[in-house]
Amino acid sequence: MKRLRKVKPVVISMGNVAASGGYYISAESDYIFADPFTITGSIGVVAMIPNIAKLSDNIGLHEQDISKGKFANAFSIYTKPDESMINSIRMSIKETYLEFKQRVADGRGITLDEVELIAQGQVWSAEDALQNKLIDETGMISDAIKKAAELSNIEEYTIKYYPKQKNFFEEIIKDKFDIDIAETVISNQIKENRGILRAWQLFKSIKNDPLQAVMPFELEN
């Protein structure tokens, strides 16, 4: 994000949820929009280690672990972590949490103490996030696009959406059959049957324009 900001302004538009990792990415942008129903924040780190040691004992299922290094099997589901392993994982979580908070502090221009008050894994609505300085404004993606143009000093621009959205009829056709496969099959048989030739032409027509108005029969001379 920092490298990108050296090239162009970066404006974030948050949708339904942009929490934890979503906010981690957003924090160091130039400007953040959240729609009125966004859930964001969740500045925190959690580690969950599943353990089935007791279950495996009950059913007679065991693992023979061959490893090198004190913490090599720290995340084994068959071994209950000892205190030293837990402390090591806890230290790693603490370091990641501090890094997360520092990114938020740097990106939002607030102190680490201010970040701590709104961090601790707490989630916020868009309105609360605005009050807590986690976002700059509530708005939709159209507002974010306008802001990006403003920050870039651009008055005329075009918008491209990715991935390309299929229209209603393309979605229907894709659900019914795969035109590309049908096209391949028909092309292999095209010289053998006049009806197949007509089908080939129809398929090519549908591929270029999914909305068709055709008769359910053909007229021949």
Q: In the chain, helix, strand, coil percent, each to 5?
A: 45, 10, 45
Q: Which of 203, 32, 217 is nearest to 130 (CA)?
A: 32
Q: Cα(110)–Cα(134) distance, rounded to whole angstroms?
A: 10
Q: How far apart are CA 199 and CA 187, in angstroms?
A: 10
Report the distance separating Cα 167 and Cα 36, nearest Å. 28
Residue with structure tokens 């290094």? 69
Give yes or no: 20 in active site: yes
Out of 13, 20, 26, 76, the active site residue is 20
Catalytic (active-site) positions? 20
